[in-house]
Structures are given as structure tokens and as C-alpha cells.
Structure 1
């Protein structure tokens, strides 16, 4: 049970080892960005269920939120050559991200300036020397400037200057290409702060997409995102993880309006597990599923810990595969889940052993349907070994993650447990019988932080 001795709201913490306790025992000096905590009590009011269930509320989000926020649309390696393009769709909006003739990355609204026809199919990618409307043949250069139109004599009122494709703000960080429909949006670096100051962009630039799953979900996009903003659910949803996961001892931090963080430790059992756990038992439980090529049993020596053995195992594994030198990288940065949420819909995990990126977006104009992008990034080999960017695998809501080619069944089952919760939460909010849902002061502060920023956009 958590301590009930509370000096002020949000001050209570689960007893036992904290994240900072474990960081002090790290085998390497831990950087300041991990040792500095940044929690803020944001209130304890219920979150109105209409934010998940109301089509009218969803329409406000479509009108006032989604056209004004930065979100990653693709990776730079998706568009390596001039003419390469990716179509990114969110809600009713569609953007073409393209590598122009001069090598610059451009983004355009995916709509013909003639009669609004979508220029490229949703969720598509490919390569083309120009952008041509499939309806009447109006054509644009890759930079968005008007190239030609059939029967130009009949359009004396059309000038190339006024009929360039609708420009979309585009910037890059960490190998990700971000877009924003708002021409007056703040610069990306300002929007992402303090993430770039905590995690160098090179951490993500030096990785490639080893797997990408797009799963359709029968729930509001916020319910989907919130499932990964707390570790409070682990003890009930993922009991198989409790032997190596410090669920209730997770650290939560909030920064400004757009960024918050979770540090969930590995190699530290749940405070709620009743069986006694030796360091060897913790290590044996951790090395289940897709944790690398374990060819022989790893042993915890006298005076060592499972966390240190895990970290060294990954240092050695990455080096053997031609990856980057991790000799100076801390145990925490290797084995822990260090997740940065960037408003409104994306999470970046900087850890080596959990190299995941999440993205959540509305599925068209459906308030109760969303798309969950699960991306697994692996280090690019430094020895010249070839790598290939994985193509998205699309799953219907009823399909299991375990059916994805190459997906470890153990990991796939974890995500099935998560997505099952999401759809149950959507159905439950419709029949709850009271107007709001309740959040924990500390463990669910990231959800409240997200909603605080959400309402700033909707009430602005």
C-alpha cells in the first residue's frame, strides 16, 4: 500500500526503491537530465468523459488543435532521393512530404488547387518527378510551384503565384520529419523543449525503422495515447512483467506545455510482488522475449545486480552487431524505459533496449476510432552491414500484434493486452453514469498534463 502520510497533494510516493535510488547505484556517472525531477501537482479534478465520447468535442479538436501542432510524419530515410514522397494523414487532413529537386524536404497540403481533389492516395508513398492531379491533370513541381494545367487559355484568372500547392511547415529533428499546418506555429526546437536538450538528436538519427505496425483501434485517440502515459496499469494488465518492472515506483516529470516524461526502471521488481526475488531471478525474468541473442545463461556474480548485467549484455550485443560504442552509456539509458511524450500524440523512448516510438491520431472523422503507430528503431550498423527501412504492417482492430511477421510473441501479447484496455475504456466511458473519470495525483499526472494543454488549444 502507498503511504497515506501526505504533506501536500501529489507528494505521496510508493514505498521502496525510487528511480533516483537506482540511478545512484548506476555503474556509470548519470547525466543531469535523468537526476533532475520535474513533477508539478496539476489538480485532482475529474476529466470529463465528453472529451472521449462527444462528436462535438472531437470536432473542436479537428478545428482548433490538429491544424496547429507539430507531429512527425515520416523519417528522413523514407525520402532519401528527389521525388520520394510520403503521405501523412491525421483526421480529415492529408499532407504530402516530398524530397524536392534541390534536395530540400518540402510538405504540401494533399489537395489540388483546382477543385480540391486529393493528389496522392492516403497512407501512400512512392517516387515521382512531379505532382499531378489524377482528375484533370493539373501539375506542380516538387517544390509546390505550379508547372502546367490543361487548357490554360480557359483560366486567365489563374496565376502561378496564387495557385502553388498549399505549403505546410516542415522541420526535422532526430531523423524525424515534422509537419505543422499552422504557418505561425513556434519553431520545432522551441516546441520540443526540453527534449532536444536532454536527448541529442543523434540518438534517433543513428537508428533505422526495423519494424512498423499501424493498428486500427475502436477508441478515441486520447484514450489510446493515455494507455502509455502511466505504469499504474502494469500490475493488473501485465502481471508477467512485475518480476522486473518497478511499476508503481516509476518517475513522472512535466515540462512546459508540450513535453512530459516517464522513467520506468527495469531490473527492479514491482512493489506489489509478494515472492522474494533474487538478483538472478530478476535477470532470468528480464531475458524473456526479444531481448537479443542469448546463447548461454547469464549469471549475476557476487556484488553485482541484474540491472548491471543486463546493461553490459546489451553493450556487448550491440558492439557484436557493429553498432555504436556504449561503453560510457549508463545502465539506465540502456535498460530503462525513458519515454518522452510530445503533445499531442507522440512518444519517444530513448533507451537502447526499448527503442520504441509511438504515435496516435484520429482515424478520419471518427471520434471513437484511431490509429496507433508502433515503430521499433534499431541502431544502424557502423561496420557497413546493410539495413532496410521496414514498411508499415496494417492491422485491423481485431487482429493480434502476434500475427505481425517478425514480432516476438511475448512482446506482441503485451501490446494486445494494452489495446484491449483501450477499447474497453472507450465502451466504459459511454456507460459510466457520471460525467468524469478520476486520475491519480502522481502516477497519472502526464495524462492531466496532456489535457491541460489540450484545453489551452481549444479555449484559445
Structure 2
């Protein structure tokens, strides 16, 4: 606080209710170290220009300067478990065939024939192939990218076979994910993420989970605008009023780590601080067990005198998830069972490492329209002890469809996703029509958006790589 004015310094304001850390500190099963840290930093209060969301030239600049230099999650290792399995990752105009070329080797080949440019594998496809063959004239390559055959080779005596290997992006594996980067001079994935984020990701052991539901939908809004709809809990009261009685929305915690990673923690099993004069501990249980939005399948635990709803919910979740996954969760903290941990891994990945809602969000710009985004939601669960599981194929929804229509989707959560995205068309059109040159952000609750856009600006300016947060502020 400024002693002379008596006012809080910019970025110092917090909701006066108890903090996220105070809430989870009262849990019976203590939180792990990665959940207990706090890493907020004030990054300024200036408006963020609207041009980045509305300009086709800005989007072209991103394809030239941002996407080719960043580490991106292309697929899970489980998508390509056997030699010859491949998965096509498309990002804007770029496309890669991610293939298991040997038992412990994965390659990411540019998805274009070196003869006349035909795509070697269809966009968004996956499958098995013993080699990579062009469907146009039959040129083929081995899985490692070396040239295998040119039909009528006598007519190509001018070619050097060694120079006709398929070009490759860089590949690294971490947390069960396959990451790609087009820049041969890019830093390692570890340096890109930074020590703190790397330690968190390793602690989650996401390699021990698999994707059991994968849903994709396209939206009429810029990719950054779509991502930012999920970066804060400030919107919960008006966008998701049905969950507010059991969600600590406005006292959520926001953290920024290095240049490419940030997060928020939003607690469940507590009443929103804005509604505490209207809802009791019993109402929290009621909210969790109401209708088709129930997280507990319709069962309702008894709340005894003096008990906290949050603890009762944690115990109930633990028992439910142990039955569903045949996994011992006695060592797992209450906060991992209940709370939403949302991490952004720049440029386009969200990871939710909790037990109750372990998810992956991925956002990709439409190469043909800077006002459209491809949004994917992937749900994970622990790999069974038997070792037998099947990675879910993607379900692609039409624009008119609700997420609740996806096979296997919890209807209540599907409608929450619909609520998150229903505002996007109006927001994109509003920015196009606005006389204001930028958007205004909260210093704390919307810090992830500011942090994200500062990193965008760094790449757009062609700045040399740095994972340090300080370098974004220069």
C-alpha cells in the first residue's frame, strides 16, 4: 500500500475473502508442493490492442514468426504406439506426419511430397503405414524419412537421393506428449518451459494417463480470443451461474511463471464469496448433486454437524474415482481431487492435471480465416492396471451442435463448455465494431491474458528466445 495515498499499489488488490492457499491449507490430505506455491507478478495496466484479434495481417505475421518458433503438443505417444503408426498434426498452413519410425524413435516429417508438393497424408488423419507414399505419382519414403523409391527413376537422374529425404521438425517427448518445433535453432523443450513448469509437469506423471474422450469444434472467433475465454474465473458468476454456489470464483489464484507458462487455481466445494449470505454448506452438497450436472452421479452424501462440505466432497470423490479407475488414491491431496488447476503452455495448450477433471485443451487457428478457431477438449484417466486401454478417436462436432451431444460427454459439463464459447461470436463482432482501440484487463484476475499477449508480442517483434519473464517487460 502507498503510505502517502493510502491506496493499494497496482496489482496488489485481492478479493478480501480467504485466499485459495488458505482454503486448501485446511484440507485433511495436504496439497503437494507444486500446488502450494504462488507466483503472481504485476505486468502493467495498459490496454491490449484489438488488432491482434481482428487483423488478417497480424494472423499472417503469427504464421511467419510465432508458430514456426514455438514448441507445440502434436499428439500423445499413445496415438502412435507401434512402428508405422502415424498421426497428422496440422497447425495453420503447416502439416506434419508424426510417425513412430522405430521402437523408441518418433519423427515429425513435413507433410508434403518433394516431387510436386502433394500432401502425403490427409489432414487430421491417423493410422498405420509401413512407408510414406505419395498418392499422386507414388514416390515413397521410409519411416525415418529416407527416400525409398521414385517410380520411373531413370527420368530423375539429376536428383541426389541423399537430398530427397523428407524434411523434419524437431521432436521431444515429455509427460506422454509428443512435442514438435519447426525451428532448428530453437531451445530445448526444458529450456522453453523453464524449471518451475518442468518440475510441475513431471510431478503430474501424465504419461500414466490416457485419452478416453476427444471432442473438437470450430468457432467463429480468433484463436487467441477463444483461448482467453478460459483463462480466468472472473466470468463464472454471469456465464456459469449454476456452479457459483460451489465455486470459489473471485478468490481464485493466478500465477505467471516463465515466458511460456501460467496458471490459475479455482477451488470447489466452497461457496463463491459473492454468495455467502445466500448459500450454506448444505447448499454446496445440493449443488454438486443436482440433476444431470451432478459430479457424483446422483448420489448425495450426508453432511453431519460441524463438517465442511469441501471435505465431504473430497472423501466422496476419492471413493468414486478409486472405484472407477481401480486405483488407490489415499495418498492424493484433496485439492487435486476437487479443484481446477489450469496451466497454459504457450502457444496453444492448456493442461488440467487434477484428478476430478484431468483435461487437455488445444486451440489452433484456421489457416483460411483468422476469425475461426479449432478447439479440442481431451479427457484423461489413469491407465488401468491391466495395461489394456484404447485412445479415443476425435469426435468432430458441427457448429450448431452442443458439446453435450458428444458421445461420452457429461451433459452438465458439456453445457458449461457451451456457455464458455457462446460469447465468442458476439465478442469477435463487438471488437470489429468497437470504437475503442483495445481491450481492458483486470490486473490480477486477468493476468494470464496479459502474460499470454505479452509473449505473443515478443514473438511478433522477432525477439531472440528467452524463457525469462523479465524479458517480456522490456
| TM-score, length of structure 2 as denominator length | 0.93
Do the aligned partners of residues 395 and 81 (structure 1) sit closer, same or farther apart at CA in structure 2, a change above 3 Å counting?
same
Distance 1:118 1:6, change over 3 A: farther
Matched, 1:425 2:427: yes
1:6 and 1:328, CA in 2 relative to 1: closer, same or farther beyond 3 A?
farther
1:121 corresponds to: 122
Q: Is 2:201 the counterpart of 1:175?
A: no
Alpha-carbon offset, residue 276 of structure 1:
3.0
Aligned partner of 2:302 in structure 1 is 299
Does the residue aligned with 2:81 lie in a helix, a strand or coil? Answer: coil
Residue 119 (structure 1) shift = 0.5
TM-score, with normalisation over the residues of structure 1? 0.95
Residue among 414, 417, 421 paired with 1:415: 417
**Contact in 1 for aligned 2:288/2:295 (Cα 8 Å):** no
Measure the CA separation in 2 of the matches of 1:76 and 1:320. 26
CA distance in 2, matches of 1:409, 1:376: 14
Q: Which range moved further: 4-13 or 422-431?
A: 4-13
Give the secondary structure class of the aligned counterpart of 1:168: strand
Alignment partner for residue 239 of structure 2, among 230, 237, 262?
A: 237
Map of 2:367 onto structure 1: 364
Runs of 5+ consecutive residues of structure 2 not aligned to the other structure: 463-474
The 3 A distance-change label for structure 1 pair 6 and 97 is: farther
Q: How much does 1:327 deviate?
A: 1.0
Within 5 Å, give how 1:41-440 maps onto structure 2: 41-193=42-194, 194-200=196-202, 203-273=205-275, 275-288=277-290, 289=292, 294=297, 296-382=299-385, 384=386, 386-440=388-442
Paired with 2:351 and 2:92, the residues of 1 have a C-alpha distance of: 22
Q: Assess if the C-alpha contact under 8 Å between 2:30 and 2:334 holds in 1.
A: no
For residue 232 of structure 1, report the CA deviation from its aligned partner.
0.6
The alpha carbon displacement at 1:83 in A equals 0.8
Cα separation, 2, equivalents of 1:12 and 1:335:
26
Distance in 2 of aligned mates of 1:71 and 1:291? 34
Q: CA contact under 8 A between 1:253 and 1:262: conserved in structure 2? A: yes
1:292 and 1:441, CA in 2 relative to 1: closer, same or farther beyond 3 A? closer
Query: In the aligned structure 1, how far is the partner of 2:21 from the partner of 2:430?
Result: 36
On the 8 A contact 1:230/1:446 being kept in 2, the answer is yes
The 2-side partners of 1:248 and 1:214 are apart by: 29
Alignment check: 8 A CA contact 1:346 1:360 kept: yes
Query: Per the alignment, in what secondary structure is the counterpart of residue 455 of structure 1?
Result: helix
User: What does the per-residue CA deviation read over 1:51-80, in whole Å, with 9 as the maximum and x for residues that have no partner?
Assistant: 000000110001000111111111111111
Q: Which residue of 1 aligns with 2:29?
A: 28
Q: Please list the CA deviations of residues 124-183 of structure 1 after superposition, one character each: whole Å capped at 9, or x if unmatched.
A: 111000000111111000011111101222222322221111111111111111111111
In structure 2, relative to structure 1, the CA distance for the partners of 1:73 and 1:56 (3 Å cut) is same
Q: 1:201-239: CA deviations, max 9, x gaps?
A: 653112111111111111100001001111111111010
The Cα shift of 1:104 comes to 1.3
The 1:295–1:218 alpha-carbon spacing in structure 2 relative to 1, beyond 3 Å, is: closer
- Please list the CA deviations of residues 394-451 of structure 1 after superposition, one character each: whole Å capped at 9, or x if unmatched: 1122221121112222111111111111222111110011111100000000000001
Q: Is contact 1:195-1:340 (8 Å) kept?
A: no
Question: 2:204, 2:270 → 1: CA distance?
Answer: 29
Tell whether the 8 Å contact from 1:175 to 1:201 is kept in structure 2 after alignment.
no
The 1:201/1:155 distance shift into structure 2, 3 A limit, reads: farther
Is the contact between residue 173 and residue 201 of structure 1 (CA under 8 Å) also seen in structure 2?
no
Counterpart CA distance in 2 for 1:219 and 1:76 is: 30
1: distance between equivalents of 2:167 and 2:289? 50
Shift of the 19–274 alpha-carbon distance from structure 1 to 2, 3 Å rule, reads: closer
Asked if structure 2 preserves the Cα contact closer than 8 Å seen for 1:280 and 1:300, the reply is yes
Give the superposed CA RMSD: 1.7
Structure 1 residue 386: Cα displacement: 4.1
**CA distance, structure 2, for counterparts of residue 354 and residue 91 of structure 1:** 29
- Check conservation: 2:209, 2:382, Cα contact below 8 A: yes
SS at 1:246 equivalent: strand
Q: Is the 8 A contact 1:268 1:282 kept in 2?
A: yes
How far has the Cα of 1:353 moved from its partner?
0.5
Contact persistence 1:243–1:269 (CA under 8 A): yes
Whether the 8 Å CA contact 1:81–1:103 is kept in 2: the answer is no
